[in-house]
A and B are shown apart, each in its own frame.
Chain A
């Protein structure tokens, strides 16, 4: 079936720099795109979502960009901190659906 395609690379970032995590999706019917953060030994935690009729949404230190033309989603973290070290998952959901389809995750390591 269709799925959010994201391999599990590792992104090493210097503390204080900006991080950009990318995700490709394949389901054109998805209405929401979501980012989750998973710290070691914990369950995923919601960060931010964006509707398919938007191309940008900002939160606290995070920005999500959506490019429907190329089916690409990104999460930008400003001024990356040690507490941002985690695995980040993108996920998608249809408006009337009851399922989050997750990608494979990206590990972010913040170097002091």
Chain B
């Protein structure tokens, strides 16, 4: 049981490049989400999904797109990378109860992204 798997673990991008961060979970969780973590700060929600075909914005969605075509996968796309997007990105999943996430979220190992 792999849990939540994120790829890549590290990435360096040039300003203006685009890329997709991959996230997959094998726990059949309906809820998935993306957070970013900046030094000395907690995690901030970028986008989330309560099920396949459904996505919604979190606190800091600008510059990111998501899609949820399957229950297992929830990729995060950076459209045109900016230095302000240098961060560590975490994907998380959880069970849902009546369409609402559980308090116990399972996080991936993170992707450390540097935009130069």
Tally of contacts, chain A with chain B, CB under 8 A:
67
A89 at the interface (CB under 8 A from B): yes
Q: Which of B28-72 contact A (CB under 8 A)?
A: 31, 33, 35, 40-45, 48, 50, 56, 58-59
Q: Which of B8-37 contact A (CB under 8 A)?
A: 31, 33, 35
Q: How many B residues, CB 8 Å from partner?
A: 27
A65 at the interface (CB under 8 A from B): no
Q: Which of A90-109 contact B (CB under 8 A)?
A: 91, 93, 95-100, 102-105
- The majority secondary structure among interface residues of chain A is loop
List 8 additional A-B contacts (Cβ < 8 Å) besides A44-B105, A99-B45: A41-B109, A43-B108, A91-B42, A93-B101, A98-B100, A100-B43, A102-B42, A105-B40
A residues neighboring B (CB under 8 Å): 1, 4, 6, 8, 32, 34, 41-46, 49, 89, 91, 93, 95-100, 102-105
